[in-house]
Chains A and B, each alone.
Chain A
Amino acid sequence: MLWEQAIKIFVFGFLGVFVALAILVITISILGSVVKIFK
């Protein structure tokens, strides 16, 4: 039970950090392109 929860925290937590920041990377890139077009 303990190790099951620990593995869940590791997998979802570490992947979650990557996913959250990857979404931010994509969003910043899109925003940059949109701002460039409107300039």
Chain B
Amino acid sequence: MAEFIGTMIWKTGFMSLEVKHLIMWLIGFLFIFLAVKKDYEPLLLLPIGFAVFIVNLPLTALMEEGGLLQIFYHYGLEWEIIPPLIFLGLGAMTDFGPLIANPKTLLLGAAAQFGVYVAFFGALVIGFLFPTIGFGIPEACSIGIIGGADGPTTIYTTVKLAPQLLGATAVAAYSYMSLVPIIQPPIMKLLTTEHERKIHMRQLRPVSQIEKILFPVTATLIICLIVPPAAPLMAMFMIGNLFRESGVVKRLSNAAQNELMNIVTIFLGISVGATMSADKFLRLDALLVFALGLVAFIFSTAGGLLLAKLMNLFLKDKINPLIGSAGVSAVPMAARVSQKLGAQADPKNFLLMHAMGPNIAGVIGTVVAAGFFISMAGGG
């Protein structure tokens, strides 16, 4: 009997607990705290935090072959289903009106990918100097794309190129997205003058429904022909938008925006958190991913701002450079930050709608950058 009890005790998780598990629990609880108390990306950090906690319970085998979370991860992320479905919902939520009314702001979304490439080179230099860390081209691409500030695209790229970094890149992307109001303003103030921040922009023209219907079709055609690996994300983004703008399938549009988006978000959060087992996360490379992600964010913000300043040298109707920083996706937080800083310089300055153009362009730009990474780094 005593032998039986002894065996049973050894089969409990308590006997296999290690310090690394406790550290991961604390990280999971930190995410839950940030979500509940600070309202930082709660829709994702809450499920991610709890998944981090449960995946680090010893002997539960949740991420072993056939385990519940492994099944979510396998079919949701490895099969590349969840990120495109998130894009379907995002497309149904997005109004491309500001972008169509002022299409040159698309270029700000392209310039804001600068940080992606800075972090890409940063990761390669680290990998070159310290080969044991194991940062090659695929890893550098996955780390760089964090600078696009687009969670689903980061996940999509990482799963294709460097799945071992998924937990770190996904959490870095979503963490920095939620920290946009803290990270961006100092850079924006540093790179603009008071006079530039006060620039008023001309009111946007109204956009007709036919233009809004033609946009998703045209954008899909152009982007998917130029960068075929971007098709899963781009096509789903645009079909969601077509649902919205056509006006004839309100049920589908509502389902994509609400029920589908909510369900997919649950599985996305759980699947990402499930990749954060102690063995995979408590490593130097994960810390470096966070550091490089921050670098990427800073340079992406600067890239958008500086291009706006450059464009002003040639444009008759000046652009307020603050909207350039909104080119780092993070919709709509980055646009709100532009609005806030513009209003601080001049309370009569309304930049929100102007900033939505580069903000949405940033999403498209990041998808295109990811497509090029995948096609050139061997993931597509």
Contacts and interface: CB of A to CB of B under 8 A. Distances in A.
A35 B137 contact: no
A35 B117 contact: no
A2 B136 contact: yes
Nearest to B364: A21
A17 B368 contact: yes
Interface residues of A, number: 27
B110 A21 contact: yes
Interface residues of B, number: 40
Nearest to A32: B211
B113 interface: yes
Given A13-B117, A14-B114, A29-B103, A20 B223 contact: yes
Interface string B96-110: 000110011011011
B376 interface: yes
B376 A24 contact: no
B373 A13 contact: yes
Interface in A8-29: 8-10, 12-14, 16-25, 27-29
A22 to B, nearest CB: 7
Contacts, number: 99
A20 B121 contact: no
Interface stretch (B72-80, B195-203, B213-221): B213-221
Interface in B213-234: 214-215, 218-219, 222-223, 226-227
Contacts of B219: 24
Given A5-B137, A31-B214, A31-B218, A21 B107 contact: yes
Interface string B125-145: 000100000001100110000
B226 A6 contact: no
B103 A9 contact: no
Contacts of A22: 106-107, 110
A6 B137 contact: yes
Contacts of B111: 18
Max chain A Cβ within 10 angstroms of own Cβ: one of B103, B104, B377: B103
Contact of A16 (B104, B109, B121, B372): B372
Given A17-B368, A21-B109, A35-B210, 6 more contacts: A17-B369, A21-B107, A21-B110, A21-B364, A25-B107, A27-B222
Q: Which 3 A-B residue pairings sit nearest by Cβ, starting from the closest?
A: A13-B372, A28-B103, A21-B110
Interface of A: 2-3, 5-6, 8-10, 12-14, 16-25, 27-29, 31-32, 35, 39
28 contacts: A6-B137, A8-B376, A9-B137, A9-B377, A10-B117, A10-B120, A13-B369, A14-B117, A16-B368, A17-B113, A17-B368, A18-B107, A20-B227, A21-B106, A21-B364, A21-B365, A24-B103, A24-B106, A24-B218, A25-B104, A27-B222, A28-B99, A28-B218, A29-B103, A31-B218, A32-B103, A35-B210, A35-B214
